[in-house]
Amino acid sequence: MVTGGMGYIGSHTLVVLIEAGYDVVSIDNLSNSDLNVIGQIEKITGVHVENLNIDLCDVEAVAIAFDKHPDIVGVIHFAAYKAVGESVEHPLMYYRNNLVSLINVIQEVKSRGIPCMVYSSSCTVYGVPDKLPVTELTPLKPAESPYGQTKQMGEQILLDALKGSKTQGVSLRYFNPAGAHPTGLMGESPVNVALNLVPVITETAAGLRDEVVVFGDDYETRDGTCVRDYVHVMDIARAHKLALEAAMAGKLSSPVETINMGIGQGVTVMEVILAFQKTSGVDLNYHIGPARPGDVPAIYADYSKAASLLGWEPKFTIDDIMKTAWVWELKRRKQLT
């Protein structure tokens, strides 16, 4: 069972799971996703995915969904609101949605003795780290946004709930997922206005936005813009499959393992823009704007635990990310028109 399966990372993870031979079911209320992704998944895999359109904050609806699929062996929980800026403006909406939905899912996982659960966490749990790169032992600082706070609290809820239970858990703390499926058939396609840098870049290049705003250029980084660890969505999707399999094989040494998901390299906003221009051949219209509340100046991962515990290594670079994202943008805009 994949919650948020119609969303960006969830849909790519469904593809990876199907191609590995798993039967899957999605739960997604389509608040920031599109049911058309089912057709895209089917084109890639030849499998039609069932999506249950329910609100995971509705405890009775969640129980009914699990009743409908009594043979579940693992749950991957993506479903959450995820925009840092929006969480600053609407904190209660984020606390209710992200935490109540998680509690309801964990409750069903525990009561039914489902062997494993993978939680979609985030590098935002680290706040502003004192030292880079970030490891899983890096102390958690106060979160810079309500969104980050919900991820910190979500990890703690999962750990407290699974202690002494039959379920093994994994919290994957991923950094900045980006890019698209190599076929160009599927990629990031939010229903709400895109806020992440890569789709903002591709939408601007496609003429859907006037310009890209670079939020701040006076951070203490090599070119003054924020540094992030961009990891290809297919690398992230593959990590979820590996995490499930590690839990099912009994490879985890604690009730919940926390694992970083990044490529171990920091890339500035300006470097991302230059990578796009290089791989696409398109000159991008951008300007420097004020810094955003809640943004962390720099963060990138040490992924050695993912390598040793899951056998995971990133296969895609920032150039691959920008190339696949641009191909997806061009293909989906042609479909829409």
Contacts of 253 by beta carbon, 8 Å cutoff, 6+ apart? none
List all residues 6 or more positions away from 184 whose beta carbon is below 8 Å from its beta carbon. 324, 327, 328, 330, 331
Tally: H helices and E strands in the chain: 12, 13
Rounded CA-CA distance 203/325 in Å is 10
DSSP assignment of 165-179 equals: SS-EEEEEEE-EEE-
Is 147 one of the catalytic residues?
yes
Under DSSP, the state recorded for 306 is I
Report how far apart, in Å, the C-alpha atoms of 258 and of each of 63, 105, 305 are: 27, 19, 9
Of residues 94, 126, 147, 230, which has the active-site annotation? Answer: 147
Contacts with 243 (C-beta within 8 Å, 6 or more apart), sequence order: 118, 170, 172, 259, 310
CA 240 to chain centre: 10
- Catalytic residue numbers read 147
